[in-house]
Amino acid sequence: MKIVIIGPAGSGKGTMSDLIEDNYPAKHISSGSMFREEIRKNTPLGQQANSYISQGKLVPDDVTVALVKSRLSQDDCKDGYLLDGFPRSLVQAKAIEDLGINVVINLMVEEHLLVDRIVYRRLCENCKAIYNIKLNPLEDEEHCERCGGKLYQRSDDTYEKLMVRLESYAEETQPVVDYYRKKGIVYDVDAGQSVEDVYKQIDEILTKIMEEKSN
């Protein structure tokens, strides 16, 4: 199965992708994680990507497409994959038309929920645990409950940067949803609910598709 999961920042793409990967033959490929790894290694590609990401802007299409196609050519993707955070533009979607994407999960969330999820998100420097100091308040908002590591806010998680990201999403990525919808492969999901309820919707969609394929 070749799946694309689409949604604005804070819609739960990463969480849902991990759950799908655990239950279906689809390797989770996150463009964001790939970029963060390149940035951490301080590679030329990482430096190039960081100059955009740190301003809340999208990385140019040619850079992203090259990185993703290289990753999809690896052995762990041969039985299926799930693209998270890609394609983000019509150019990207058309650049991977030859891959034969057959399912697009469209996560839909109201803006005020996205603000709560993103602006109050904190990550642990040590163990990478993720917290939300508004939705799940901590006794100590500075330190990780698991390992005691220092908590930090990602540079693109501020309210101002989030607004830039949401504006970019509306301009760049909504046309991607429309493009795939014309192909009849978009499945809308109400992602403003609990993790369990959102995944239940996705699980029902994918189960039905797999059953139809096997008949």
Higher-pLDDT residue of 49, 144: 144
Domains of the chain by range and CATH?
Answer: 2-109+164-214 (3.40.50.300), 110-153 (no CATH)
Taking the whole predicted model, whether its pTM rises above 0.85 is answered as no
Checking if the pLDDT of 70 tops 90, the result is no
**Can you tell me the mean pLDDT for 41-49?**
85
200 is catalytic: no
Position 69 pLDDT exceeds 90 = no
Q: What is the CA radius of gyration of the chain?
A: 17
pLDDT of residue 154: 93
32's enclosing H/E stretch is helix 31-41
Give the CA angle between residues 69, 74, 76 to the nearest 5°. 120
pLDDT digits (tens, 9 = 90+) for 114-170: 999 999 999 999 998 999 999 999 999 999 999 999 999 999 899 999 999 999 899
Q: Which residue of the set 2, 13, 71, 117 is catalytic?
A: 13
Question: Is residue 117 annotated as part of the catalytic site, yes or no?
Answer: no
Q: Which of 27, 122, 161, 165 is catalytic?
A: 165
Sign of CA dihedral 20, 23, 29, 30: positive
Q: Which residues pair with 103 in a beta bridge?
A: 3
Element (H, E) at 11: none
Is 122 one of the annotated active-site residues of the chain?
no
Distance CA 134, CA 145 (A): 15
Catalytic residue chosen out of the listed positions 2, 27, 71, 121: 121
Q: Is the pLDDT of residue 58 over 80?
A: no
Q: Bigger pLDDT: 137 or 43?
A: 137
Q: Which of 88, 117, 122, 161 is catalytic?
A: 88
Residue 102 phi/psi, 5° resolution?
-120, -5
Active-site residue identified among 154, 183, 200, 208: 154
The model's pLDDT over 185-208, given as tens digits with 9 standing for 90+, comes to 999 999 999 999 999 999 999 999
